[in-house]
């Protein structure tokens, strides 16, 4: 145990030097002009509780998505039955499904084949009297819910990445909830507004044959819908109503780009379609010159321009009473894509940067007090060997910071607690070794033999104790979330680095001293 070949000494020195090199960037701030260029971005990332920011718990409104799909099923059923000239009545959404009644019960089998072909996930219940009920199976609902949450997480991630937030935490919680933690944001209201918008944009033709007054009185044709303007208001300040065709002539899912720009010195959003969208947009504008085209976003008309001429290039602009920031946010939403279902904010917490700075300061003070207390005790109780363990303890802390920087891990307040706990645990191995050496020396062995036996016999106990703690840290990381994972990461890293410093660094210092001084008795 006391023999150190040259390669092992070189390995220990390399690990310590690399730990110092990767820990050094944490002495500078990210914007510090005095820091070397290669330090940029190498600091430990600070979590929400240390840097400040926003914590949001979102819920995916799957019922709204299901209602939308059922409404689409109503329209598809109406078209399919009319195409085959099958009479029906009372078609609508009831009790979580679509129901209708055939005028002629003799058409039950034909109608069954038609509605079953609409969606393979449909469960069709038909009676001999012509009563139909269409609903989705439980397995189909479960699959659609899971896909909706997965897609929502991806869209939320895209939107947040577009804002430039560093190291966000976006993860599923439970069946239909999403946890979002955004460190360092300075405008949480804007982020909430971006995440709260479904951003489902569609293009519809205006129903020029229906009077708005009739629609406001409740007389809206089956193929149209009454929508309010999001930008324009009348003389009394009320939103201007539009009667819009339900049929989507071009979907927002065919957009490939959207950018904030200027037209006639006014901020607008310029957009461009893919090949499919370009073809559809060209056909619609060519066949409806002189009519109005409504651009609908989340159920509101944001613009309704007149089609002056065919637009065949696949690009256009959205104009209105926008501010520059509104066009930037709208372009961001369109680029990121539409959410499959609305998101509801269930929980919101905001941590100010001052509170985060206080947490860092308190954590630093706790770590410093713990470090100096352990060093003082070890030096007082074990003398020179206690000083050796103190050197390895400082190197242990440096290597932990170096590894966190190298892995670009996020440090949270529980993570600082894990580091402080590691400082106390790091000397456990040294205490076991020193006490074993004492016993061997009291038994009459020479200093070399006592030290060799102490390290050799304490090795098994040290490995057992640290491996069991490492397993516990692994379980915390696997089953935990958020702060618990942060604690588990720093604890696990600290366990591995403490074993290295105790069994390598302290032992190397002790062996070098022993060979140079050749004492007749150990100062323990």
Q: What is the mean pLDDT of residues 457-474?
A: 87
Distance CA 507, CA 455 (A): 8
Q: What is the mean pLDDT of residues 381-403?
A: 90
Q: Which residue has the tokens 């366990």?
A: 495
Output the six-digit token pair for 135: 């609903």
* pLDDT tens per residue across span 270-292: 988 888 889 888 999 999 999 99
Query: If we measure between CA atoms, which residue out of 20, 18, 23, 16 comes closest to residue 500?
Result: 16
Q: Give 186's pLDDT tier (boundaries 50, 70, 90).
A: low
- Is the pLDDT at 396 greater than 70, yes or no? yes
Q: Kindly give, in sequence order, each residue whose CB lies less than 8 Å from that of residue 157, ignoring residues fewer than 6 positions away.
A: 168, 170
Output the six-digit token pair for 262: 């200027």
Q: Which pLDDT does position 36 carry in this prediction?
A: 55
Report the alpha-carbon angle 455-491-183, nearest 5. 155
Q: What is the mean pLDDT of residues 196-208?
A: 86
Report which DSSP code applies to 502: I
Q: Which pLDDT does position 471 carry in this prediction?
A: 92
- Is pLDDT larger for residue 167 or for residue 340? 340
Q: What is the mean pLDDT of residues 493-509?
A: 89
Q: Which pLDDT does position 102 carry in this prediction?
A: 92
Q: What is the mean pLDDT of residues 411-437?
A: 83
**Neighbour count for residue 226 (Cβ, 10 Å):** 17
- Is the pLDDT at 305 greater than 80, yes or no? yes
- Is the pLDDT at 35 greater than 70, yes or no? no
Q: What is the mean pLDDT of residues 345-360?
A: 75
Distance CA 524, CA 521 (A): 9
Distance CA 257, CA 250 (A): 15
Q: C-alpha distances in angstroms, 27 versus 20, 42, 43, 360?
A: 11, 11, 9, 14
Query: If we measure between CA atoms, which residue out of 231, 250, 248, 249 comes closest to residue 240?
Result: 231
Q: Which pLDDT does position 521 carry in this prediction?
A: 81
Q: Give 40's pLDDT tier (boundaries 50, 70, 90).
A: low
Distance CA 306, CA 272 (A): 19
Q: C-alpha distances in angstroms, 235 versus 63, 212, 238, 284?
A: 37, 16, 7, 32
Output the six-digit token pair for 460: 């098994």
* pLDDT tens per residue across span 58-96: 999 988 888 888 888 888 898 889 888 999 999 988 888
Q: Which pLDDT does position 29 carry in this prediction?
A: 66
Distance CA 75, CA 245 (A): 13
* pLDDT tens per residue across span 117-127: 888 888 898 88
Q: Give 205's pLDDT tier (boundaries 50, 70, 90).
A: very high
- Is the pLDDT at 328 greater than 90, yes or no? no
Query: If we measure between CA atoms, which residue out of 118, 107, 124 comes closest to residue 72?
Result: 118
Q: Which residues pair with 123 in a beta bridge?
A: 135
Q: Which pLDDT does position 95 carry in this prediction?
A: 81
Is 111 in contact with 81 (CB distance < 8 Å)? yes
Q: Kindly give, in sequence order, each residue whose CB lies less than 8 Å from that of residue 70, ignoring residues fewer than 6 positions away.
A: 93, 96, 97, 98
Summary mean pLDDT of the chain: 84
- Is the pLDDT at 38 greater than 60, yes or no? no
Output the six-digit token pair for 422: 């590691």
Distance CA 228, CA 243 (A): 9
- Is the pLDDT at 33 greater than 50, yes or no? no
DSSP 134-164: EEE-HHHHHHHHHHHHHHHHHHHHHHHHHHT
Q: Which pLDDT does position 31 carry in this prediction?
A: 56
Query: If we measure between CA atoms, which residue out of 456, 437, 434 comes closest to residue 446?
Result: 437
**Neighbour count for residue 447 (Cβ, 10 Å):** 19
Query: If we measure between CA atoms, which residue out of 151, 211, 197 comes closest to residue 178?
Result: 151
Q: Which pLDDT does position 87 carry in this prediction?
A: 92
Q: Which pLDDT does position 241 carry in this prediction?
A: 92
Rounded percentage of the chain residues whose pLDDT exceeds 70: 95
Q: Give 164's pLDDT tier (boundaries 50, 70, 90).
A: confident
Q: Give 132's pLDDT tier (boundaries 50, 70, 90).
A: very high
Q: What is the mean pLDDT of residues 235-249?
A: 88
Q: Which domains does the chain have, with CATH numbers?
A: 6-52+352-517 (1.20.1640.10), 62-139 (3.30.1240.20)
DSSP 80-123: HHHHTT--EEEEEEETTEEEEEESSGGGHHHHHHHHHTT-TTEE
Output the six-digit token pair for 438: 């004492």
């Amino acid at each position: 145990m006391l023999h150190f070949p040259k390669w092992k000494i070189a390995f220990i020195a390399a690990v310590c030097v690399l730990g110092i090199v990767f820990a050094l960037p944490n002495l500078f701030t990210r914007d510090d002009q005095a820091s070397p260029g290669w330090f940029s971005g190498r600091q430990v990332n600070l979590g929400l509780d240390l840097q400040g920011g926003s914590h949001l718990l979102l819920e995916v409104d799957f019922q709204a998505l299901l209602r939308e799909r059922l409404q689409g099923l109503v329209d598809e059923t109406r078209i399919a039955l009319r195409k085959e000239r099958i009479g029906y009545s009372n078609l609508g959404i009831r009790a979580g499904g679509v129901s209708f009644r055939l005028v002629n019960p003799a058409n039950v089998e034909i109608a069954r084949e038609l509605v079953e072909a609409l969606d393979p996930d449909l469960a069709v219940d038909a009676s001999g009297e012509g009563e139909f009920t269409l609903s989705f199976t439980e397995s189909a609902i479960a699959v659609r819910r899971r896909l909706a949450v997965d897609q929502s997480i991806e869209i939320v991630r895209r939107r947040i990445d577009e804002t430039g937030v560093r190291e966000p935490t976006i993860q599923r919680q439970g069946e239909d909830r999403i946890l979002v933690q955004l460190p360092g944001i300075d405008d949480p209201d804007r982020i909430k507004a971006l995440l709260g918008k479904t951003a489902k944009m569609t293009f519809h033709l205006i129903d020029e044959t229906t009077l708005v007054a009739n629609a406001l009185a409740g007389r809206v044709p089956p193929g149209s819908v009454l929508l309010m303007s999001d930008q324009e208001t009348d003389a009394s300040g009320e939103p201007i109503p539009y009667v819009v065709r339900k049929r989507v002539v071009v979907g927002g899912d065919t957009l490939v780009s959207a950018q904030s720009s200027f037209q006639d010195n006014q901020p607008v959003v310029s957009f461009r379609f893919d090949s499919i969208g370009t073809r559809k947009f060209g056909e619609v504008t060519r066949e409806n010159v002189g009519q109005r085209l409504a651009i609908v976003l989340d159920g509101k008309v944001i613009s309704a321009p007149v089609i002056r001429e065919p637009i065949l290039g696949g690009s256009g602009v959205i104009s209105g009473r926008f501010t520059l920031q509104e066009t930037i946010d709208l372009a961001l939403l369109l680029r990121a894509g539409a959410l499959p279902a609305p998101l509801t904010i269930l929980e919101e917490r905001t941590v100010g940067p001052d509170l985060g700075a206080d947490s860092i300061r308190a954590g630093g003070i706790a770590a410093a007090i713990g470090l100096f207390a352990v060093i003082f005790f070890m030096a007082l109780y074990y003398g020179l060997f206690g000083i050796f363990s103190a050197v390895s303890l400082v190197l242990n802390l440096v290597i932990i910071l170096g590894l966190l920087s190298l892995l670009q891990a996020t440090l949270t307040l529980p993570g600082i607690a894990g580091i402080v706990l590691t400082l106390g645990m790091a000397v456990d191995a040294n205490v076991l070794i020193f006490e074993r050496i004492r016993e061997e020396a009291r038994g009459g062995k020479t200093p070399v033999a006592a030290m060799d036996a102490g390290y050799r016999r304490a090795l098994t106990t040290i490995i057992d104790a640290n491996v069991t703690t490492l397993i516990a840290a692994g379980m915390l990381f696997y089953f935990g979330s958020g702060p618990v994972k942060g604690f588990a990461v720093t604890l696990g890293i600290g366990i591995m680095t403490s074993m290295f410093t105790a069994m390598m660094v302290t032992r190397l210092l002790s062996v070098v001293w022993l060979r140079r001084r050749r004492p007749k008795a150990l100062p323990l």
